Amino acid sequence: MQLIVATRNRDKLKEIRTLLKALPLKVKSLDSFKNVPDVIENGRTLESNAKKKAVQTSRFLKTLVVADDSGLEIKALGGKPGVYSARFSGKNATYDSNNEKVLRLLKNISAGKRKAAFRCVMAIADKGRIIAVAEGRCSGRIGFKPLGREGFGYDPLFIPDGYKKTFAQIGMKRKNSISHRSKALKKARVIIKRYILTY
């Protein structure tokens, strides 16, 4: 059976494939299909965006789809960038430009006030119907400069609780054992396994 990840982000696909490798699934991204319409992520919450992507994509492809929306919530910034994490620095945002904006906004914020959390909401849908929603969270803090070369997004800035290094420094294997996405996917994996066994 195949599972479609509603993304064109290769970094995210690689991470999800690793976390789902124990299941008898052929995991594909939207890049494996032609003419899949883009879903406008205009929801006000991570959950609404994840559900919208899962429902619309599974309805179009008529198959099982998992979609996620993830965000970095920084306490000193009132929870921003949150749902706007991927495009925090503007329409043509890049990983680097987003990280630069975060550091600029936190320029005068002391170490003790740089608390943050990554959140991930995953929605699972089949043929346009939501099956379940799972959420994961990883708390930590924002560093003072980008460190590390692994991972993607805000990984070079985010230092998870209990660590002195960023996600980008500790490596993907370690990150995948504690990250927000891995926590959400572990919950989703149980649901997907149960679903495909009774399909």
Rounded-to-integer distance, Cα 104 and Cα 115, Å: 16
Rounded-to-integer distance, Cα 116 and Cα 145, Å: 15
- Per this entry, what is the length of the chain? 199
Among the listed residues 11, 38, 69, 96, the single catalytic one is 69
Rounded-to-integer distance, Cα 8 and Cα 159, Å: 26
Whether residue 126 lies in the annotated active site = no
Rounded-to-integer distance, Cα 122 and Cα 117, Å: 16
Rounded-to-integer distance, Cα 132 and Cα 192, Å: 9
Rounded-to-integer distance, Cα 115 and Cα 138, Å: 11
- Coil vs helix vs strand at 67: strand
CA torsion sign for 131, 136, 142, 147 is negative
Rounded-to-integer distance, Cα 153 and Cα 69, Å: 13
Q: Active-site residues: which are they?
A: 69
